[in-house]
């Protein structure tokens, strides 16, 4: 006999089951509850209220968060618009709606790091962010803690609909068709017990890494899990005394070049590089985090990676290396002009995995897979690398799919 923490919940046939509570899943949950206040909607999330970072890959360190709210809990609030035409959204006015909803504003001059203002000489512009700058104290911890002054997907999960449920600490292990409905099977991680839920429609929103894993037992599609990109980035920089970038709004300015983006960015990895310099260029005792200044180079990496089982395979291609070299050269020239004497760089990392359930290969223009009633709505459906923060674009996708369903 199976044990159910809530038998009534498990016996219900839901109109919609959403797997994953990140940007796509939370947007769908909000929009579907608004559109269908009398329908039964279940959102399943493996994480909980704690931020749990996952680190995969060797050559490129790929980061994502398992939590209620997904990886956007560690986002730094960037609200940059991406081109949505390749996923079938041609009306740019949807961004106006999202910007109003998230209260998007450019970083005020008074919140910009004093040393970073030098970047205006190079054509950098203030970054639009979904942050309440009146409450923000520029602590610099946007990527490491949840703050009431920064929008997160959790804010879309407040639910006035009595027929809808959110179940965290639930790991989805398999999906299956069962006549007129789907079964979603998995494990209640708190109770350590198997549970099965039934739904007429299922929308997978597990992100670029986990969506293909979740779908692998139900879809026989050669493209599933392939086409992976991660918006590879590194940070270069060094010692700029009393720059205080560590206690400034991250990525407050940015500039887009051909194939890459530059933005001021404090990195603990960069700090460790400087502290570990065995040439004794600097006195370790005198170098503090406030003295480290860096610029991030984020490239449009080639989508040639693979998600397979519990591993990912993502290497730097020759094109990726060329773009990184261009970005490093451009950023280093700026940093030398700012007064840095020696430049250090971090290892390559990626924080926006996507492409693994690409539109036109795994899903159609309506976000539906080859199985009727089974959808995907997250960064995994982007057919090619974005190279820019994708959160506003994923919200737009969620709104479009909610209109379709």
Domain ranges, ordered by start, for the chain: 7-102+151-225+355-404, 109-138+232-350
* Residue pair 9/59 in contact by the 8 Å Cβ criterion: no
pLDDT of residue 1: 22
311-357 pLDDT, tens digit per residue, is: 899 999 999 999 999 999 999 999 999 999 999 999 999 989 999 99
Residue 6 has a pLDDT of 44
- Please enumerate in sequence order all residues whose Cβ is within 8 A of that of 231, keeping only pairs 6 or more positions apart, or say none: 298, 299, 300, 301, 350, 351, 352, 385, 386, 387, 388
Cβ neighbourhood burial of 110 (10 Å; 0-12, 13-18, 19+): exposed
Cβ contact 44:170 at 8 Å: yes
pLDDT at position 3 is 28
What global pTM score does this model have? 0.93
How is domain 7-102+151-225+355-404 classified at the CATH fold level? FAD/NAD(P)-binding domain (3.50.50)
Q: What is the pLDDT of residue 285?
A: 58
Q: Determine the Cα–Cα distance for residues 212 and 223; give it in Å rounded to an integer.
A: 10
pLDDT in the model for residue 65: 82
**pLDDT digits 0-9 by tens, 55-103:** 887 888 888 888 888 888 888 899 999 888 888 887 778 899 999 999 9
Tokens standing for residue 365: 């223009």
Residue 90 is predicted with a pLDDT of: 78
* pLDDT band with cut points at 50, 70 and 90 for residue 310: confident
């Amino acid at each position: 006999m199976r044990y159910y923490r809530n038998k009534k919940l498990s016996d219900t046939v839901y109109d919609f089951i959403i797997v994953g509570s990140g940007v796509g899943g939370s947007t769908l949950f909000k929009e579907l509850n608004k559109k269908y206040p009398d329908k039964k909607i279940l959102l399943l999330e493996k994480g909980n209220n704690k931020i749990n970072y996952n680190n995969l890959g060797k050559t490129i360190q790929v980061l994502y968060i398992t939590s209620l709210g997904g990886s956007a809990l560690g986002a730094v609030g960037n609200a940059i618009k991406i081109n949505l035409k390749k996923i079938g959204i041609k009306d740019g006015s949807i961004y106006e709606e999202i910007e109003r909803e998230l209260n998007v504003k450019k970083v005020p001059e008074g919140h910009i790091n004093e040393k970073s203002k030098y970047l205006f000489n190079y054509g950098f512009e203030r970054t639009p962010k979904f942050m309440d700058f009146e409450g923000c104290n520029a602590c610099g911890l946007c990527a490491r803690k949840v703050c009431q002054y920064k929008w997160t997907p959790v804010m879309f999960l407040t639910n006035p609909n009595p027929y809808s449920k959110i179940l965290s600490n639930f790991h989805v292990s398999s999906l299956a068709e069962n006549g007129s409905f789907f079964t979603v099977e998995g494990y209640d991680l708190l109770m350590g017990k198997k549970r099965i839920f039934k739904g007429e429609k299922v929308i997978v929103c597990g992100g670029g890494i986990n969506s293909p894993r979740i779908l692998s037992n139900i879809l026989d599609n050669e493209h599933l899990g392939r086409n992976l990109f991660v918006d590879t980035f590194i940070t270069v920089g060094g010692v700029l005394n009393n720059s205080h970038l560590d206690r400034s709004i991250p990525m407050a300015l940015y500039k887009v070049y051909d194939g890459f983006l530059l933005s001021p960015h404090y990195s603990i990895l960069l700090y460790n590089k400087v502290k570990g310099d065995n040439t004794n260029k600097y006195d370790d005792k005198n170098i503090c985090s406030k003295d480290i200044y860096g610029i991030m180079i984020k490239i449009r990496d080639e989508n040639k990676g693979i998600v397979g089982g519990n591993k990912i395979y993502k290497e730097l291609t020759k094109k990726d290396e060329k773009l990184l070299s261009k970005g490093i050269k451009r950023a280093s020239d700026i940093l030398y002009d700012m007064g840095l004497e020696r430049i250090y760089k971090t290892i390559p990392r990626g924080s926006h995995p996507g492409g693994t359930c690409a539109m036109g290969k795994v899903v159609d223009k309506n976000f539906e897979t080859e199985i009727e009633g089974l959808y995907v709505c997250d960064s995994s459906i982007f057919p090619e690398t974005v190279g820019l923060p994708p959160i506003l674009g994923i919200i737009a996708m969620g709104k479009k799919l909610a209109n379709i369903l």
